[in-house]
Structure 1
């Protein structure tokens, strides 16, 4: 039988464990963006590395407090323009400097490319990002293309990689006149990612989670053609999530799985097939647009 000292010790240990659990839960509630976004202020590669002509872009954003902050980006005009434009929304790590090589691939396909950093990334101003602010930043980039560059929405393709795919899906819902949507290596929701990674499943996730990026509930409402691309060897975001997004999306839609490709090297592993897949998608969009005129 437990004596009073042992019982007191057990109660104390239980109380400490409970307080620790509650403390971690509260920390995760308020600081969860730190586990989602991994920005860097250092831009290591610019379009100059690929001998690309480009312009620095600074886009004003009004915060909820009424303050004006600026998004930094690069406008890379097509060498021989076919009128097609790609709005490139990168993932949760580093900044546009880590994405310029992939943006260059789209440029080689004939796109003019607008590549932006969300607030808190690279040279963009603002505090640490959140789901709400990155959605706003993507919308500001879209408005820049349409209202300042005077580009017809039917000429703009929205591209997003990983977390950027969730941002691209959200933007596509707001812009049903866009030409098309390309979602690469993205996930169904942050909630599903937590289940996949398992590290935080001991916490009351549904009560704590505020940054949801719930793409799986959004894709059924898409009104534009969508292309999902994913590597089958992606250990960060399983390819099954793109399959689930594809299944939930309406037609017209495509799903391309690249055997042996991971999270960040789909285009490298796919090689020329990547170019063919994207160019075929753009061609099919063009055919559909002509048929609707």
Structure 2
């Protein structure tokens, strides 16, 4: 324990004031809440008209607002629940991406709605209408999703059949959730372009976007995160959680993803011993797999569900 303390504390004592100041800026840029959805990447702006068609559908479809900790403003979590067209015990819980919100998952909501599912779309911590000052990149969010799962079971009873689905940070959230003691009502997981760990993703982006080395910045940001959110980045991992997973899981990833590299999909796939499938989508960038061919995407997910969601 002493060795670990000095290993983590040393960068704080030895790093230059400039490196420490930049690390605080980096932490705030990456982890601090923003109350808007950033513009999508240029490669996906060509899908804007189609995206807003889905948003219009989402805004008009009859729905309910669900809460966790409704009377506690500092911990309140908010979700939209869309009942299936015909009464169903099948529910998909959808986890959105980094700095997104539940509305940004409108396309997936409609896809699963058309497949006969009830749809539950939460806003994660520090996103949308939910409380929180800092983004936990899925680690603390996984605890909220356990509560959302229990909310579905309370509504529909012990015969509920639940699918977990997420994209990007949402995909990693579901991968991290997979290692928890999930109830039998959770039948399967679909994780689209999730990262292998928060630490590995940060180190990758430090190099690719900022042209910076891991040291001293990752240990500094990790220590700041420990003080803000209670854990070091290296202490949490999608792969470690997936090693405990027992639910069938479909991994989807764009072959041309330069934000969460496709290598992470292979790492996540190898990490779990549960029934699993991997679909690498040729020509797709980050979170683009659906938009390349929505009908093909739905068909591929349906094939997986035909096998494992029974």
Give your verdict on TM over 0.5.
yes
Kept in 2, the 8 Å contact 1:40–1:94? The answer is: no
Q: Which 10-residue stretch deviates more, 142-151 or 103-112?
A: 142-151
* Residue 93 of structure 1: aligned partner: 99
Match of residue 27 from structure 2: 32
Equivalent residues of 2:77, 2:124 under 8 A apart: yes
- CA distance in 2: counterparts of 1:78 and 1:261, whole angstroms: 30
Aligned counterpart, 1:143:
150
**TM-score (normalised: structure 2):** 0.75
Distance 1:170 1:62 in 2: 28
Taking structure 1 as the reference length, the TM-score comes to 0.79
| Contact kept? 1:50, 1:104, Cα under 8 Å | no
Q: How many residues align?
A: 264
Structure 2 residue 172 is matched with structure 1 residue 173: no
Ranges in structure 1 where 5+ consecutive residues have no aligned partner? 1-16
Task: From the CA coordinates, give the structure whose radius of gyration is larger.
Answer: 1
How far has the Cα of 1:149 moved from its partner?
A: 4.0
> Which residue does 2:75 correspond to in 1?
69
Aligned-residue offset at 1:121: 1.5
Structure 2 counterparts to residues 268-283 of structure 1, below 5 A: 268-283=291-306
Distance 1:117 1:99 in 2: 10
Taking the aligned partners of 1:184 and 1:260, their CA distance within structure 2 comes to 15
Name structure 2 gaps, 5 residues minimum.
1-14, 38-51, 223-231
1:55 to 52, 59, 64: 64
Distance of 2:293 and 2:267 partners within structure 1: 22
Cα–Cα, structure 1 residues 33 and 140, in superposed 2: closer, same or farther, change >3 Å? Answer: farther
Task: Specify whether residues 176 and 58 from structure 1 end up closer, same or farther in structure 2 by C-alpha distance, changes over 3 A only.
Answer: closer
1:185 matches 2:190: no
* Corresponding residue of 1:203: 215
Report the CA distance between 1:24 and its aligned residue. Answer: 3.2
